[in-house]
Amino acid sequence: MTPEFVTTIGKETIQVILMVSAPVLIAGMAVGLAVSIFQAVTQIQEMTLTFVPKIIVVFVVLLALSPWMMQIMISYTSHIFTNIPNYVK
């Protein structure tokens, strides 16, 4: 295995990780921002208020996008497994 080959595998792995995790993180961040703005406007400073909406939105996004996420991860894993003979050389 050459260094370029290893860096290519690492780059693909990071791309898959970012592609799968980005929708959940962006949704959580957007809800957190909206709740923070709501708290600033209404001057409600309850610490637990931010957690419940974030948890609900993250679960909904995971539920909605889990087939797509699994398809991405399965295709990447099958790509890695089919290329094992190339990695051993």
- What is residue 1's predicted lDDT score, i.e. its pLDDT? 72
Per-residue pLDDT tens digits for 12-43: 999 999 999 999 999 999 999 999 999 889 88
In which band, very low, low, confident or very high, does the pLDDT at 60 lie, cut at 50, 70 and 90?
very high
- Contact partners, residue 7, CB within 8 Å, separation at least 6: none
Please give the pLDDT value at position 47.
79
Return mean pLDDT, the chain.
92
CA distance 72 to 17: 10
Res 48 pLDDT > 90: no
